[in-house]
Structures are given as C-alpha cells and as structure tokens.
Amino acid sequence: MTGFAFALRREVAHLARNRWDLAMVTLFPAIAILIVAAMLIHGVPRGLPVAIVDQDNSAFSRAVVRAVAAAPAVTITQRPADLPAAEALARSGTVWAILHVPRGASDGLTRTETPAIHILYNASFLTIGASAASGIGAAVQNVIAERGLDALHARGLPAIRIEPPRVQATVLFNPQTSFEWYLQALIHPAVLHLLTACVAVMAMGRELEGRSLARWTRETGGGLAALVGKFAPYLALLGIWAMVWMIWLLGIRGWTMNGSLMLTLFAQLLLLAGTAAISILLIVVTRKPSFAFSASALYAGSALAYSGGTLPLDGGSGFARGWSQALPFTHYLKLQMDQFLGAPFVIALPALFALTLYLVVPLAIALVLLRRQASA
C-alpha cells in the first residue's frame, strides 16, 4: 500500500502540473464524444445528393422524378443531359448516385422487353452510395408498380391475379438501419482503446527520462501496487468517459441494451487495463517510447478495421483473421455487441477470459523485468 500511495500521489501531482497530459484524459475524450455524436446524431442519412438523367421525358419518367424528389433519403441536385456527364459528377463526388431513365422506358411497361432503368452509385464510398441508391430504388419501384397496373387497365388488359413467391428481408435489432447505433457502438470504444495505449506509453515512458526507470522501481517498490497506483488516475478518468458514452447512447439517445450494462462496462475496463499493461510491457522491454508509440498505433489503431465490425473477415486471408483474433479490441467488441443484442452471460465468458489474459500476462512479464532492472 505504501508503493500504491506513493505512485498515486506522484502521478496526481504530475497531472496537476502538466495541463497537456491532463487534457489527454479529460479534454480529448470529451472532444471525441462530441465529434462522433455530432456526425451521427441523425442516425439515418438524409438528403444525399443524386443526379437524374431523364432521356424518356414522359409522364412516367416525370412521375419517377417526383417520387425520387419526395424520398427523404435523397435530394435531386443535378439534371445532366446524358450518362457520361452524370458519371463525371459521381467521380467528382458531387453526387452519390445516378438514376438513368432511357428512351422508351414508359412505352415498355406492358412489354416483355423494355429498356432498363439504371441506378448507379459510387462504390468507392460504399455505405453512402448504397444508401442513396436504396432511396432511389424504393421510389422507382413504387412508381413502376402503380404505372404498370394503370397501363394494363388503359389497354383493356386484365390484371393477372397470380401471386408469385415473395422474398421478404427483415432487419433484426437495428430496424431503423441507424448509423448512430452501429457506428457509435464501434467508434468510441476504439478511440478510448487507442487513447489508453498512447497515454500509458506517455506515462511509463516519462520514467525513462534520465534513465530513471530503475530508480522509479526502487522508490516505489516496482511491484503490482506501484503500477496500479501509477495508472489508477488514467484508468479512472478514461473509465468515467466510457460511462459517459454509455449514458449518452442509452440514457439520452434512447438505444436499448438487452443484455447486461454492468458486464459491458466491466469488460471495457478490462480492455483499458489490458491496453495499459501492453503499453507498460512495450516500454519496459524496448525502453524506447517512440517504438512503443509506433507499436501502439499499429495494434490499437488498426483494431477497428480488423475487429470484424466494419469489414467482414470470413473471406479474408489467414493473416487478417489471425491478426483480428490477436487484438484485444476484437474480443471486447464481440462481447459488447452480444450484450446489446441480449446474449446470455455464458456467451461472454470466452471474451472475458481473453481480456483477462491481455491484462495478466503482459503485466506479469513487465513486473519480472522491472525487478530485474532494479536489482541490476
């Protein structure tokens, strides 16, 4: 307890003196929450700019244009004369999707062959482009169904009452298809994970100034209590920001966690503590903060991309799948999303075990090395 109290007082005094280090665990997380919340607060994209190339210029095509204009997901901002001009707008990022109504589209409503109505979108920005294309597609399908039936009646043809098999797709757990729920659940824990890695490298690397790491070990005892005391202020402040994020997402924005909130917060604290332990080990082994910062950026900075939350890894290379399983954030994210969906506690046990290993193993190795350096 003496080593814990000494290390804790020493670190609190440093934070009181150094405003930049204090800002790393107070101001920066707040800015991250505000930026991510401001970006995603609308949840579902609205008013995405699209272009329409109407070469049919018929009552049908005008009805399509009106339907697309009424769709909340998109806004018609461009009316180019031909498809090459529209594609140039998409390449420049002026529009996210294009609706092309070719000549003869309206005349072929009751024919077996008709010119295709094309919806093209920018797959370089897959999520936004697909959202714009989906908004256009829903509006066009409604007009085609309505106008096609009217065309049959106008020609005195019966409406054939044959019900073909229908395919129904149902969105589970996120029926609004909200980016807010999906992306905030991913981004903010990843930001805290990376920030913890950098803060821990900064705090432990500071003890290398003047080759004082061995002296710090001797002064504090260099044991587990000293390390816990040193990093307790950082983990406490970052843990508070994790709770603030949950309060924003669940309490203010109204999203539901069907599982255990306390288990999720505990797992997040394990993630942050394990991240700090990895940073401690990097400093103790390499004794080079620059290398430790680079390694932290490598494993914590890539955590979101390799977590499986943004890009599917099932068809990825063996390296990609292996690297994903080697990262602590992957195991935390699986537990968190399972709890959002209401998975039972037993499902969380493998992730909890993995997160515990990320804390215990690096910390144990670092403690052994610190004691050897102090006695050398």
* 216 torsion bin: left (phi>0), alpha (psi -120 to 50), beta (else): alpha
> Does some domain include residue 305?
yes
One domain, residues 12 and 138: no
Q: Are residues 253 and 337 in the same domain?
A: yes
Task: Indicate whether 338 and 313 sit together in one domain.
Answer: yes
pLDDT in tens, 260-288: 999 999 999 999 999 999 998 998 888 88
Q: Which residues contact 124 (CB under 8 A, 6 or more apart)?
A: none
Q: Give yes or no: residues 89 and 105 share one domain.
A: yes
CATH number of the domain that residue 116 is part of: 3.40.1710.10
Compute the distance between CA of residue 148 and CA of residue 177 in angstroms, rounded to an integer. 30
Do 98 and 238 lie in a common domain? no
pLDDT at 263: 94
Q: Is 136 in the same domain as 258?
A: no
Same domain, 6 and 119: no
Q: Which residues of 59-83 are buried (b: 16+ CB within 10 A; e: fewer)?
A: ebbebbbebbeebebbbbebebeeb
Q: Same domain, yes or no, for 256 and 119?
A: no
Domain boundary at 154, 169, 199, which?
A: 154
Q: Which of 270, 231, 236 is nearest to 353 (CA)?
A: 270
Instruction: For residue 303, give its domain range.
Output: 2-41+178-375
Number of structural domains found in the chain: 2
pLDDT along the chain (376 residues), means of 10: 79 88 88 80 76 86 86 87 88 86 69 68 72 80 66 50 43 58 80 92 79 66 79 92 89 85 94 94 88 90 82 75 90 90 90 95 90 68
Burial of 222 (0-12, 13-18, 19+ CB in 10 A): buried
**Which residue type does 220 have?**
T
Query: What's the pLDDT tens digit per position in 107-143?
Result: 655 455 556 788 888 776 666 777 778 888 888 877 7
Residue 161 has, within 13 A of its CA and on its CB side, a CA count of 0
Q: What is the mean pLDDT of the chain?
A: 81
* pTM, entire model: 0.73
